[in-house]
Amino acid sequence: MTATFAAVKGWFAPRGDGTGALPVRDSIHVGGDRPVRLMAFDQTLVAVVFALIALGVVMVYSASVALPDNPKFANYTQTFFLRRHVVSLCIACFAALVVVQVPMSVWEKQAPVIFLIALILLVIVLVPFIGKVVNFSRRWIPLGFMNFQPSELAKLAIALYAANYMVRRMDARENFFRAVTPMVVAVAFVGVLLMRQPDMGAFIVIATIALGILFLGGVNARMFFLMAAVIIATVSLYLYFDDLRRERILAYLDPWNPLYAQGKGYQLTHSLIAMGRGEIFGQGLGASVEKLHYLPEAHTDFLLAVIGEELGFVGVATVILMFFWMTRRIFHIGRQAIALDRVFAGLMCQGIGIWMGFQAFINMGVNLGVLPTKGLTLPLMSYGGSAILMNMVALAMVLRVDIENRALMRGGRA
């Protein structure tokens, strides 16, 4: 333990030019020599997260307020989805407050157990009369107050497990089979379970998280690209034999084709219409036309299209910039942790950064017509109980890493 703190202290040993060894300081000087202490946690990150959540609440209500006019939702009130979304947020915030109190050493020890629990839940959701089927997909386990989606837990579990695996197998990074094979088997098993639901979007995100952590953890670049090529080939083969998803790809390539415009390209064409109607400053909050039963899943997968129509380019650009800043900040916290010789915490943070940034990128790409349609929500903003819950838990872990980083940089303990 003494050696560890001595090593940490060495990071702050002054150089010849009088500066510290790390690009961070425990205090800053404002208006003289009196030091101002750094905050105990990243308040700007918390502010950006809650800004995204607040905008999401407003837009979920705007996108769902007219749904009761649809016979499918005739028994729902205008605030049904808003109330459920707010309840989910309250549960998520409470869970985040609990998680942020737990030291990262506990999560590191329990990472394999959490991954095992995620696998068990992915199996349970496929059991008839347990898993709930919506739109021909069996992805949810009803809990009464909310429907829990095990694939959301699997995203966090793979970030924890991959980071823990890289710390335990650090000596095997240069050996392809020793370093990669166990993780490939784990990801492949998760992929088989997700394809049975089916949920290819979640599998792509999970595989990307695992690949990213392996790469950032120091796995040989040639091995990384070989593994990525194998996964891409597997997904391509799956698309070749799956008529439904192959048709989605064809619809994405030519959404205005009469063969697809009223079929698999319907959501994409109406999302593009919504974006086009928004122009620079939008039609105004609540003034979307596409949400009036033209654009399916407007409050979940296509929330950004409603933002584009009502708030215009300015609103969409603001959301993109906030997600970019948040992802960049999460990676920065991860790099700080690794610089402080906290490899698990750093890799886990970067895995969560990949999760948030990549999933947001896919959702935005789908809404803007850049990527084929996928059933992925916009993190922190779209309607969905288990997604919001796991997003907040993951960000609470990132905040905990930042708190421990700051404690170490002040010369204390994590």
Contacting residues for 21 by C-beta, under 8 A, at least 6 apart: 10, 11, 12, 13, 14, 15
Tell me the chain's radius of gyration from C-alpha atoms: 23
Q: Which stretches within 197-302 are classed as H helix?
A: 200-216, 221-241, 243-253, 258-261, 266-278
Residue 198 pLDDT level (bands cut at 50, 70, 90) = confident
Better-scored residue on pLDDT, 366 or 263: 366
Render pLDDT for 78-110 as a digit per residue (tens, 0 to 9): 889 999 999 999 999 999 999 999 999 999 999
28 or 275: which leads in pLDDT: 275
Sole residue written with tokens 């969905």: 384
Crossing angle between the packed helical segments 243-253 and 221-241, to the nearest 10 degrees: 100
- Give the per-residue pLDDT at 32: 41
Q: Is cis: bond before 142, omega within 30 of 0?
A: no
Question: Mean pLDDT across the chain, nearest whole number?
Answer: 83
Task: Determine the angle formed by the axes of helices 343-367 and 150-168, rounding to 10 degrees.
Answer: 140
pLDDT reading at 10 higher than 60: no
Query: What gap in Å lies between CA 190 and CA 99, rounded to an integer?
Result: 25
| pLDDT tens sequence across 313-358 | 999 999 999 999 999 999 999 999 999 999 999 999 999 999 999 9
Overall average pLDDT of the 356-373 stretch: 91
| pLDDT the model gives residue 192 | 85
Nearest to 119 by CA among 160, 78, 86: 160
**3-state SS assignment for residue 49:** helix
Which residues, other chains included, contact 26 with Cβ-Cβ below 8 Å and sequence gap of 6+?
37, 38, 409, 410, 411
Higher pLDDT, residue 413 or 313: 313
Model confidence pLDDT, tens digit, residues 233-268 = 777 777 777 666 677 777 777 788 777 777 778 888
Residues 6+ apart with CB under 8 A from 299: 60, 63, 64, 67, 81, 306, 382, 383
Q: Grade residue 223 by pLDDT with cuts at 50, 70 and 90.
A: low
Proportion of the chain above pLDDT 90, given as a percent: 46
Q: Which residues contact 254 (CB under 8 A, 6 or more apart)?
A: 260, 265
On whether the CB atoms of residues 218 and 350 are closer than 8 A, the answer is no
Residue 71 has a pLDDT of 78
CB 376 within 8 A of CB 357: no
Confidence at 364, pLDDT banded by 50, 70, 90? very high
User: How far is CA 301 from each of CA 46, 349, 404, rounded to the nearest angstrom?
Assistant: 24, 25, 35
Contact present, 388 and 89 (Cβ < 8 Å):
yes
State residue 39's pLDDT score. Answer: 58
Query: What is the spatial distance between Cα 198 and Cα 39, in angstroms, rounded to a whole number?
Result: 44
Token readout for 176 is 């392809």
Mean pLDDT computed over 295-319: 92
Residue 243 confidence (pLDDT): 67
Question: Mean pLDDT over residues 50-68, rounded?
Answer: 93
Task: Mean pLDDT check: name the lowest of 69-78, 109-118, 150-159.
Answer: 69-78
In terms of average pLDDT, the best of 18-27, 62-71, 82-91, 405-414 is 82-91
Q: Considering only 10-24, 179-193, 288-302, which range has the smallest mean pLDDT?
A: 10-24
pLDDT score for 315: 95
**124-133, 149-158, 184-193: which has the highest mean pLDDT?**
149-158
C-alpha angle 113-105-91 in degrees, rounded to nearest 5 = 65
Do the beta carbons of residue 376 and residue 151 sit within 8 Å?
Answer: no
What percentage of the chain has pLDDT greater than the value 70? Answer: 84
Paired tokens of 14 = 């002054």
Instruction: Report the SS3 class of residue 359.
Output: helix
What tokens does 147 get? 């429907």
Q: Is the dihedral of CA 46, 52, 54, 56 positive or negative?
A: negative
Q: 190, 119 in Cβ contact below 8 A?
A: yes
